[in-house]
Structure 1
Amino acid sequence: MLSRVVNVVEQVADAALGIVGVRVLTEEPSHTTKKLTDTVEIRRYEPRIAAETTVEGSDEEKARSDGFRRLAGYIFGGNQGSRQVAMTAPVSQGAAKGEKIAMTAPVSTSSDENGWVIRFFMPSKWTMATLPTPKDDRVRLVEVPEESVAAVRFSGSRSPEAVAAKTKELLDALAAKGVETAGEPVSWFYDPPWTLPFRRRNEVVVPIAA
């Protein structure tokens, strides 16, 4: 009982801090970082696990909202055993691009005909063997291999127009530096919708050749 009360207090505190973009209790996947330009970073991520769902339709913002609710349902007890899994950052969104998605394999994306793939990365203490099984069969647990990515950060609007502008900026910067991409760009969002826009951490990320 006490642990539940503590958990609720922590969640309330985290939500309040989230208004101003403070993520004290939010784990991020382990990685190394180096600068490519003043605005573009190169990162190397270790293997990790994600809970993901595919949301049909072409509306990017609605897909993000619907996918977030499905995945939040999973980590807040919508699983076998009704266990809670801590929220992490970022939330990932990429186009589903018509690919068939294997239940236990990493997913790559290439066109938006089938909708959007939304991902929550799982805290590092969990494994595929220990994570609870989702009750919603639209939620999948996938292993994400180690990868190198290029990222550009921005605050403010998360609209499709804002994401498209940052995607162009990132790809132009990589082309100018002769860096080869190895996949499609995705959007990463580190803060909840209620965070003040100028305090939000948003990113466009693209895999690159190691």
Structure 2
Amino acid sequence: MTMMMMMSVMVCLKMITTNATESTQYESPEYTLVHSESDYEIRLYRVAAWMIAPVKSQISFEKATRNGFHRLFQYIEGANLNSSRVPMTIPVLTSIVPGAGPLRSSGYSVQFYLPVKFQATPPLPLPELELEPDHWNSRCIAVRKFSGFAKDKNIVTEAEKLAISLSRSPWANYTSSETEYAYSIAQYNSPLRFIGRLNEVWVEVDGCQSNLLIAAS
């Protein structure tokens, strides 16, 4: 990545200086909290439209995230067939395609949640960006929060901690078999923010819809 590309990514990410109490100024995918423990929670995310940047040639989570986000940044700045400016949202989500690589990956998918204004009709990206629309069905996601920076050296450890928590929970045998991703890393902050950072590990699970219905009855 050239210095100019890096600067453009950092300029855009500088806008994401929020923590959990400040995030209301940025749109995020909507969810219902189904269950909460000290070390994980289960969320039911609603139907949503995302734009994704597949990254197949990188073995580094950090490099893949920078590569994918740079393309998404161009898209939201107007590199689409409508020349539309798309407001920034949070989090930036990097999903790991399972494989035998150093981070147990064969590739990555960097994902941008589309604001409500563009949910029904996302602007079409310019072909050279190699982006793809992704329409989520409602889904259950197990989440583990962690602070600091999400890096190659710690994301697997955090994913393993979530797996251990789930193995001791009612969702022990409910890891989703339908997803193409092993796990995802959600990042909420600019790389220029050093204090109060928020990241999350996401893993899809089954069964939280029924648990929500039981809790509501």
Q: What TM-score do the two structures reach when normalised by structure 1?
A: 0.79
Q: Which residue of 2 aligns with 1:188?
A: 186
* Equivalent of 1:202 in 192, 199, 203: 199
Once the two structures are TM-superposed, the CA of residue 34 in structure 1 deviates from its matched residue by 3.7
Q: Secondary structure of 1:151's match?
A: strand
1:33-182 → structure 2 map (5 Å cutoff) = 33-55=33-55, 56-97=57-98, 112-113=105-106, 115-128=107-120, 130-135=121-126, 136-179=128-171, 180-182=174-176
Q: In 2, distance between residues paired with 1:45 and 1:154? A: 20
Q: In 2, distance between residues paired with 1:24 and 1:154? A: 20
CA contact (8 A) 2:16 2:90 kept: no
CA contact (8 A) 1:88 1:120 kept: yes
1:126-164, CA deviations, whole angstroms, 9 ceiling, x for partnerless residues? 234x22110134111110111011101011021122211
Change (3 A) 1:16 1:68: closer
- The amino acid across from 1:60 in the alignment is F
CA contact (8 A) 1:152 1:204 kept: yes
Q: CA RMSD in A?
A: 2.2
Change (3 A) 1:154 1:134: same
Q: Which residue of 2 aligns with 1:32?
A: 32
Once the two structures are TM-superposed, the CA of residue 54 in structure 1 deviates from its matched residue by 1.1
CA contact (8 A) 1:54 1:96 kept: no
Q: In 2, distance between residues paired with 1:186 and 1:67? A: 14
CA contact (8 A) 2:51 2:131 kept: yes
Unaligned residue ranges in structure 1 (runs of 5+):
1-11, 99-110
- The amino acid across from 1:208 in the alignment is V
1:87-108, CA deviations, whole angstroms, 9 ceiling, x for partnerless residues? 111111112347xxxxxxxxxx
Unaligned residue ranges in structure 2 (runs of 5+):
1-10, 208-217
Once the two structures are TM-superposed, the CA of residue 200 in structure 1 deviates from its matched residue by 1.2
Q: In 1, distance between residues paired with 2:32 and 2:157? A: 26
CA contact (8 A) 1:188 1:205 kept: yes
- The amino acid across from 1:191 in the alignment is N
- The amino acid across from 2:91 in the alignment is P
Once the two structures are TM-superposed, the CA of residue 71 in structure 1 deviates from its matched residue by 0.5
